[in-house]
Structure 1
Amino acid sequence: MATQSTPRKLWEHPNPGTTQMHQFKNYLSSKTNTRFPDFQALYTYSVTHPTTFYHHLFNYFPLIYTDTLPNATSDRPNHIFDPTARMDSIPAWFPGMQLNFAENILSSGPRHGQPCKTNKEDDKTACVSVREGSFTEPIQHLTWSSLRHRVALLANAMRAHGFGKGDRVAVVASNSIDTLTVFLATTSRGGLFSSSSTDMGVKGILDRLTQIRPRWVFVDDFSVYNGRTVDLRPKMAEIVTGMEGVPEFEGLVAQPRFSDRPAEVSDVPRTVSWEEFLRKGSGDGELRFERMDFSDPFLIVYSSGTTGSPKCIVHCVGGVVLNGFKEGMLHRCLGARSVALQYTTTGWIMYLAAVQALLFGSTMVLYDGNPFLPNLETFIHLTSRLRVSHLGISPRYLQELQKNSIIPRQVADLSALQVVTSTGMVLSDQLFEWFYDVAFPKHVQLDNVSGGTDIAGAFATANPLLPVYTGGCQGPSLGTPIAVFDSTLKGGRGVKGRRVEDGVPGELVATGPFPNMPRFFWGDEDGKRYRESYFAKFDDCWVHGDFVMIHPTTKQIIFLGRSDGVLNPSGVRFGSGEIYAVVDARFGELVADSICVGQRRPSDTDESVMLFVLMKPGRKFSPGLVNDIKAAIRKELSPRHVPRYVFETPEIPTTVNLKKVELPVKQIVSGKIVKPSGTLLNRGSLDYYYQFAKVEELAGPLKAKL
C-alpha cells in the first residue's frame, strides 16, 4: 500500500450508536460537559485529561472493589495517579482502591462495587472446553456455579497448604478448565500466577521458574497435539531436578489430561495428584477473596527471550482488570451474550485475553490442540456449532486457509460471528482483502491488534466507531498516549524524542503513564533492566520496539516490523513487514513464508538486506523467482527496498507461539554466535543461517542464488 494513498474501506459498523463505545462517549460527555464529535476527539481527551478520564472510566464499568480513601466520592478524581510524576518512575494508580482479579471474573458488580451474579447466574454456561479435533472427545460445558465451586475447593486447599498473598504458582499446562481453575484460585488468594505451555522445552520452562521461584507448579500429566499423546511425567521429573536449588519450591501437582484416567505419579519425586492436593482443603467450598491494592502484582508473563533469559514481567491486578474492561467492552464489543474463542496456548499473553472475556459474563471457549485436526475446516465448523461471536486467531491461520482455498463462509453458517481478532504478526494487505472479498461474511469486523505481553493489552486495536481499511490497525486504545518518534535519532540518556508527521515511519512510543504498564520485572531489584528495556532511548518515554506509521488520512496505525529488525541499507530505513507484504501478495502460490533481515558485520561499511524464502511443497526455488521477487519489490516499493540477496531456506525459526523471530537470524548472519532460548520452537533451524555470515565464500548452488 502506498503510504500516502487512501486505502480501500472494507467495513463499517451498521449501527455504531448501539455500541458501548458510543454510549461511553455520551457518558463521558455528560460527566465532563465536553462535546466529542468523533472518536479522535474522545481519544485526545483521554490522553490529555488522564485523571478525569480514568476516574469516569472506572465508574462506568461494573467492577467489584473497595475504596479505602477517606471521602472517596469527593476526593477520588484528585487521587487517580500523580500526573506530575515521571513516566519512568512507574507511578501507582488509584491509591486506596482494592480489588481482586478472580472476584471480578467470578462475580459482577453492578453498583457501588458490591458483588452479585448479574450476567453470571448459576445455571448459565461460563466455559466450554474443547479438545483437539472438536468431536473426538466430548465437549464439556461448565456453568458459573460449577466454576465457582471448583475455584473455591482449590483455593481453600491452597490456603490449607499455607499459600497466601505474594506467593507464586506456575502451571505447565494446556488451555483447560483445570488450568483456568488454578489461575482463579491462585489470584483469589492474592497470589501471583504464571503459565507456560506443555510444548516448551524443559530449559525454557526452568529459565522462567528458577527466576520467579514458585511454591507449587501444576503440570499436565499428558499432552495431546496433532494426534500424538505424550507422557509428561519424564518432563515433570526434570522440572523437579531443575528446581532443587529453589528453597521456596514445595513440589508439583499433576493435572489429569484425561479426567477418567489420571496418570500414576507416585514415582515422580515431590509430585502429588490433583485429588491428593485437594484433600487438604477438606471439601471447603466457600469462596473467599483477598482484595489487593490496585497496583499490587498478580500476574507474571515473559518476554520471548529468543537470545537470552526471558524478562519476567509483573502486571498489577487493577491495571489488568480495568484495561480488560476497556478493551473488551468498548473496543471489542464483548458482552454477556458473547461467545469468545481465542486460539492460544497458555504460554502467550492471549491466554489472559481469553480469560478476560469472563469479566463481562461472556462464554469462554477453551480449545486445546491443533486447530487443523482432523482437517482444515474443523475450527470453522466448531465456530459455527458453538455460535461463536468473537474469534481470535493469527495471520498464520488465515494464510493456511487461503493457501488451501478454504472459504469459511461456504464451509459453515457464520451468521453469529461478529469479530475476528488477528494478532501475533503483521497482517498483510492481501489477507485483509481476501478476508472480505472471498473468505468471511461481510458483516464481520476484522480486528487487527498489536500490543502484547509487555502491557497486557494493546496499543492499537479494534474500534466500532471507525471503519476497517486495508492494512494496519483501526486506531489507538483509549487512554494510552501513543506517538511516532523519529527513529533516526540515536537516543540515549536524557535525549528527547521528536515526533514525525503522519505518513512518516518511525518508532512507536507511549508518552505518558497508563494503568496497565508493568509494575516491575521479577528479580530486577534496582529496576535497571526495566528501564533499559523501555526507557533507554528517549527521556521519560516508553519505547515499545515497533516500527510503525500513522496513515495521514485514515489514522490507521500501520505496523512495519520490529525496530530491532528495521532494515537500513544506505541510510534508507524500512520495516521487514513491507517486504513480507509484497512476497505474500505476489508470490503466495509459490512461497509458504519468508524472513527478511539486515546483515552488517564488523567489517561492513553498509547494511545488506537478506531475504530467505520457504517454498511451498512441490514448488521450486530458481534464479527466475529471485529476479521476479526483486522486480516486484522494486515496482511495489522502491529500488532501495530490493534485497541484495535472496536465498531459499528449509525452515524459518519461530517461537512456540509461531511468531517468526528475526533478531537471532540478523545476529547470526552478521557474524555473531547466538545461544537460542528455550522459547524457540525449532532451535535447530538457526544452524542453517550461520553459513551466510560468510556469504561471499558460498559456493555451488547457493552462490548461484545471490
Structure 2
Amino acid sequence: MTSLPRKIWEHPAPESTQMGHFQRDLEKSTGRKFDSFHDMYMYSVKNRSAFWEFCWKYFQLIHEGSYTKVVDESARMDSVPEWFTGVRLNFAENLLFSRVAGDNTDKEDDKIAVSEVREGAAHEAVHLTWGELRRRTGALIQAMKAHGVVRGDRIALCAANSIDTLLVFLASTALGAIFSSSSTDMGTKGVLDRLLQIKPRWLFMDDLAVYSGKTIDLRPKIGEIVQGMESDPEFEGVIALPRFSLRPADISSIPRTKTLAEYLTKAGGNEKLEFERVGFRDPFLVVYSSGTTGQPKCIVHSVGGVLLNSIKEGILHTELGPNSVALQYTTTGWIMYMGAVQTLLFGARVVLYDGSPFIPGITALVDLAAQEKVTHLGISPRWLHELQQAKIKPREKVDLSSLQVVTSTGMVLRDALFEWFYDEGFPSHVRLNNISGGTDIAGCFGIGNPLAPLYVGGCAGCSLGIPVEVYDSTIEGGDGIKGEPVEEGVPGELVATSAFPNMPTLLWGDEGGKKYHDAYFGRFDSVWTHGDFVSIHPITKQIVFHGRADGVLNPSGVRFGSAEIYRVLEGQFSKEIVDSICVGQRRPTDVDERVMLFLLLKPGVAFTPDLVARVKSAIRTELSPRHVPMFTFETPEIPSTSKKVELPVKQIVSGKIIKPSGTLLNPKSLDFYYQFAKVETLRQSKL
C-alpha cells in the first residue's frame, strides 16, 4: 500500500488565489468542473489548443495581428510545430508595459521597478523607477541602432546580475536582436566556446567583478576574448560596463573596446523607446546546454513561447503580481537569470543581487529579504542546507512576514530539507515551491501550485499545459522506438509526450536539426526525453526526483558537462594524459553531488601532487572554480564503446552494482571503479 507523505503546508483559502480565479474562469469557459488541481492539469494537457488559447486571451500580452490556429495537434512533436502563427510581439515591450501598447498600469513612472544590491553592500541598494528604467532602456536602444544593431543580430554579455545587464537585455530584445549571457567567473575558453558559435555583433562585459570579498580585474580577460574573436568578421568589439560607476576601469589599451559612456554618445541624447515586434516563434534568446560531449549546445528560445509560459507560471503557479518583490539568487550564466528579469512582466519589483550569498555572513540573503520586504525568494537546496548545518533559523532572526513563496531549484531537494524548512527554518505561512525544468525549456516540468496541499518531497505537481509522463527507463530506445509509460509510483524517465509553446525552436548552427533531434528525441519516437529519473506519487501526484539519468555533472546545483573538463585536459595536458573520465558521485546518504576525475596517464608519467595541482589550476582558469572536481585519481583503463562511457562509472561510484552493457569493448574495466563508492576509506588527492 502506498504511504502518504507528511503534509507540511496548505493554503488557507485556495479559491482566493490567482490560480483559484483562473480555475473558476476556465470552468465557466469550458462548462466543466475541476475537483482538484490535478483535474485541471489533465484537462490542460488533453485539450492543448483550447487551454493555451484560453491562456492567450486571459493574460493579454501586448501584440499585433491574429493567429490562424493555435497549433496543429496532429503534428509530430519532433517536428516542433508552430504556435499562434500570425501573432507578432516583443519581449521587452511586454516587460516594460502592461497588456496594451504604452499602458503603464502597475508600472507607473514613479514606482520602483528594480533594486540592485552588491555583495557586502546591502544597505547601499540602488533603486530604479519604471520611468527611469524605460528612459535608460530607450537611450541604449538608440545607441544600439546608431551602431547598426538590427533584428536577428546576436548581442552577447559577460557581466554581473546588475541594472546595466538588465538594460542590455531589454534594449537588445526591444530591437528584435538575440540576447545571450555568460557569467564573469567563466574562463576565457568557456566564453569563447559560446561566442564563436553564435557570432555576436557586440559583447557587453563588466570591467571588474566582485565575489567572496575579492575584486577581480576583468580587463585581461576582455583582451583575451577580443583576440579570440579575431577570426569572426561579424564581431565589432566589446563595450566595457563599469561595475563601479564612480570609478570605471581604464580600458584604453584594449583593442576594439570602448566604454559604455562612449557607446551611448552615439545616441545623441535620444531616449525614444522603440519595439520591433516579431513572430511568436522568432528567437530572442540563446542559452547553453551542459551536455556530456562536444561543445555546449546553443539552445534558441522563442519570444512568444517563453512569454506565454512565463506569464502562466508566474501568475498562476508562483502567485507573482504588481505588489510582489522578487529576489532570485542567480548568475547571468544560468537560465534562472531569465526567471529573475521576467518578474517585470507582472509589475513586480525585482531585486538583483550580485556576489556570494554568504558575504558578509551566512545569513546575507535572509537579511536582504527582510530589509527589502521580499515576497518571493529564489534559492538552491545547497543554500538551505548551509543554513540548516549552521543551525540558522531565519524566522527567529529577522522579520519575514512579507515572505510568501520560496522557490528552490538547481538540484534535488532532500526530504529532510522540506522538514527543516517548516519545523525550524521559515514561517509556516510561506509556501516552499520546489521546481524543475530548466535551460532546455526556459520553464518548468515540475512546479508548485497554491491549490493543492504541499507534501514532503519532489515537486508538488506539473506545470499546466506541459504534458509530462514517466517512461520505462529500461527500454534501450533509439530512432523509431516507442516508449512505454510506467505505473504511478514506479521510477523512470521524465518525458513530455506532446508539443508545448516553450520548446526551443532550434539549436544554433544545427543545419537540418540532427543535433536537436538527437538531444531530445533520440531515445523515444517523437517524445521529449529530459534526462531526469523520476516517479509520480499515486495519491498526491507529486513528481519525485531520484537524480539525473545522464552524465551531466551537478555539484551544488551548478550544472555543467564533462566535455568542458575534457577540452581543458586535451588542450593543455596531451603530453601527459592519454584520456580521462569525469563523473558525478551521489550516494543515497550524500547531501550533494561530488565530481570525480580519473586520469589515464601516458607511459612513464607519474601521478603526482604537482600534476594534480596543475590540472586543478588549468580547470579553474579556463572554466571556473565551480568546475574543479573534488577528487582526482589515476585509472588503469577507461570503459568505452566507440567512445568513453560515463553513466556506468557514475552509477558504480554512487554505490550501485550494475551489469555491463554488451556494447562495452572492455567490460572488466568497470571493476576498478567499485572501490570509489567508499572514497573516504581510500588515500586520495583532492582537487
2:281 alignment partner in structure 1: 295
1:135 alignment partner in structure 2: 122
Deviation of 1:216 (Å): 0.1
The residue type equivalent to 2:116 in the other structure is S
8 Å CA contact 2:585–2:596 kept in 1: the answer is: no
**Relative to 1, partners in 2 of residues 1:583 and 1:272: Cα closer, same or farther, differing over 3 Å?**
closer
**Relative to 1, partners in 2 of residues 1:577 and 1:262: Cα closer, same or farther, differing over 3 Å?**
closer
**Relative to 1, partners in 2 of residues 1:693 and 1:470: Cα closer, same or farther, differing over 3 Å?**
same
What residue ranges of structure 1 are gaps of 5+ in the alignment? 70-75, 567-575, 585-592, 602-649, 677-690
SS of equivalent to 1:208:
helix
2:87 alignment partner in structure 1: 97
Question: Which of residues 320, 345, 368 is equivalent to 2:306?
Answer: 320
Between the aligned partners of 2:39 and 2:631, the Cα distance in structure 1 is: 38
Between the aligned partners of 2:119 and 2:369, the Cα distance in structure 1 is: 14
8 Å CA contact 1:165–1:189 kept in 2: the answer is: yes
1:84-163 aligned at under 5 Å gives the runs 84-109=74-99, 113-135=100-122, 138-163=124-149
**Relative to 1, partners in 2 of residues 1:410 and 1:656: Cα closer, same or farther, differing over 3 Å?**
farther
Deviation of 1:551 (Å): 0.7
Deviations 1:48-105 (A, max 9, x none): 1111111111111131011245xxxxxx5xx001111111011111001010000000
1:480-629 aligned at under 5 Å gives the runs 480-564=466-550, 580=587, 582-584=589-591, 593-595=592-594
Between the aligned partners of 2:634 and 2:481, the Cα distance in structure 1 is: 27
Deviation of 1:39 (Å): 1.1
Between the aligned partners of 1:278 and 1:463, the Cα distance in structure 2 is: 44
Between the aligned partners of 1:67 and 1:117, the Cα distance in structure 2 is: 22
1:253-264 aligned at under 5 Å gives the runs 253-264=239-250
Deviation of 1:249 (Å): 0.3
The residue type equivalent to 2:435 in the other structure is V
Between the aligned partners of 1:277 and 1:436, the Cα distance in structure 2 is: 50
8 Å CA contact 1:669–1:693 kept in 2: the answer is: no
Between the aligned partners of 1:425 and 1:668, the Cα distance in structure 2 is: 32
1:63 alignment partner in structure 2: 61
Deviations 1:644-665 (A, max 9, x none): xxxxxx99x9996969999999
Between the aligned partners of 2:418 and 2:307, the Cα distance in structure 1 is: 31
1:642 alignment partner in structure 2: none
The residue type equivalent to 1:101 in the other structure is F
Question: Which of residues 173, 180, 183 is equivalent to 1:197?
Answer: 183
Deviation of 1:229 (Å): 0.6
Residue 351, structure 1, aligned to residue 349, structure 2 = no
Between the aligned partners of 2:90 and 2:633, the Cα distance in structure 1 is: 42
Deviation of 1:531 (Å): 0.2
1:9 alignment partner in structure 2: 7
1:626-641 aligned at under 5 Å gives the runs none
Percent identity for Structure 1 against Structure 2? 54
2:377 alignment partner in structure 1: 391
Question: Which of residues 331, 342, 353 is equivalent to 1:367?
Answer: 353
Question: Which of residues 73, 96, 108 is equivalent to 1:83?
Answer: 73
1:610 alignment partner in structure 2: none
Residue 421, structure 1, aligned to residue 419, structure 2 = no
2:655 alignment partner in structure 1: none
Deviation of 1:283 (Å): 1.1
Deviation of 1:135 (Å): 3.2
**Relative to 1, partners in 2 of residues 1:94 and 1:373: Cα closer, same or farther, differing over 3 Å?**
same
SS of equivalent to 1:162:
coil
The residue type equivalent to 2:13 in the other structure is N
Deviation of 1:4 (Å): 3.2
**Relative to 1, partners in 2 of residues 1:301 and 1:285: Cα closer, same or farther, differing over 3 Å?**
same
1:608-687 aligned at under 5 Å gives the runs 670-671=638-639
1:276 alignment partner in structure 2: 262
Between the aligned partners of 1:152 and 1:397, the Cα distance in structure 2 is: 37
Between the aligned partners of 1:257 and 1:292, the Cα distance in structure 2 is: 32
The residue type equivalent to 1:279 in the other structure is T
Question: Which of residues 26, 30, 36 is equivalent to 2:28?
Answer: 30
8 Å CA contact 2:596–2:629 kept in 1: the answer is: no
Deviation of 1:705 (Å): 8.0
8 Å CA contact 2:435–2:459 kept in 1: the answer is: yes
8 Å CA contact 2:458–2:544 kept in 1: the answer is: yes
**Relative to 1, partners in 2 of residues 1:392 and 1:703: Cα closer, same or farther, differing over 3 Å?**
closer
Deviation of 1:481 (Å): 0.3
8 Å CA contact 1:307–1:664 kept in 2: the answer is: no
8 Å CA contact 1:295–1:519 kept in 2: the answer is: yes
Between the aligned partners of 2:74 and 2:312, the Cα distance in structure 1 is: 24
Deviations 1:440-496 (A, max 9, x none): 111110111000000000000010001111110000000000100001011111111
Residue 441, structure 1, aligned to residue 437, structure 2 = no
1:43-58 aligned at under 5 Å gives the runs 43-58=41-56
SS of equivalent to 2:511:
coil
SS of equivalent to 1:582:
coil
1:679 alignment partner in structure 2: none
Number of positions where the alignment pairs a residue of Structure 1 with one of Structure 2: 610
8 Å CA contact 1:345–1:657 kept in 2: the answer is: no
SS of equivalent to 1:229:
strand
Between the aligned partners of 1:202 and 1:135, the Cα distance in structure 2 is: 30
Deviation of 1:361 (Å): 0.3
**Relative to 1, partners in 2 of residues 1:670 and 1:416: Cα closer, same or farther, differing over 3 Å?**
farther
1:473 alignment partner in structure 2: 459
**Relative to 1, partners in 2 of residues 1:661 and 1:496: Cα closer, same or farther, differing over 3 Å?**
farther
1:251 alignment partner in structure 2: 237
Deviations 1:288-317 (A, max 9, x none): 100010000010000124553100000000
Between the aligned partners of 1:51 and 1:263, the Cα distance in structure 2 is: 53
Deviation of 1:697 (Å): 9.9
8 Å CA contact 1:58–1:322 kept in 2: the answer is: yes
Between the aligned partners of 2:191 and 2:91, the Cα distance in structure 1 is: 25
The residue type equivalent to 1:169 in the other structure is I
**Relative to 1, partners in 2 of residues 1:68 and 1:397: Cα closer, same or farther, differing over 3 Å?**
same
1:625 alignment partner in structure 2: none
SS of equivalent to 1:269:
coil
8 Å CA contact 1:460–1:477 kept in 2: the answer is: yes
The residue type equivalent to 1:126 in the other structure is A
Between the aligned partners of 1:701 and 1:55, the Cα distance in structure 2 is: 54
The residue type equivalent to 2:78 in the other structure is D
Deviations 1:567-614 (A, max 9, x none): xxxxxxxxx999655344xxxxxxxx4549999x9xxxxxxxxxxxxx
Between the aligned partners of 1:501 and 1:701, the Cα distance in structure 2 is: 36
**Relative to 1, partners in 2 of residues 1:696 and 1:107: Cα closer, same or farther, differing over 3 Å?**
closer
**Relative to 1, partners in 2 of residues 1:701 and 1:303: Cα closer, same or farther, differing over 3 Å?**
closer
Between the aligned partners of 1:42 and 1:17, the Cα distance in structure 2 is: 14
Deviations 1:195-242 (A, max 9, x none): 000000001000000000000000000001111111111000000011
Question: Which of residues 338, 357, 380 is equivalent to 2:366?
Answer: 380
Between the aligned partners of 2:636 and 2:460, the Cα distance in structure 1 is: 36
**Relative to 1, partners in 2 of residues 1:598 and 1:426: Cα closer, same or farther, differing over 3 Å?**
farther
8 Å CA contact 1:565–1:662 kept in 2: the answer is: no
The residue type equivalent to 1:560 in the other structure is H
Between the aligned partners of 1:450 and 1:359, the Cα distance in structure 2 is: 21
Between the aligned partners of 2:237 and 2:302, the Cα distance in structure 1 is: 26
The residue type equivalent to 1:318 in the other structure is G
**Relative to 1, partners in 2 of residues 1:44 and 1:310: Cα closer, same or farther, differing over 3 Å?**
same
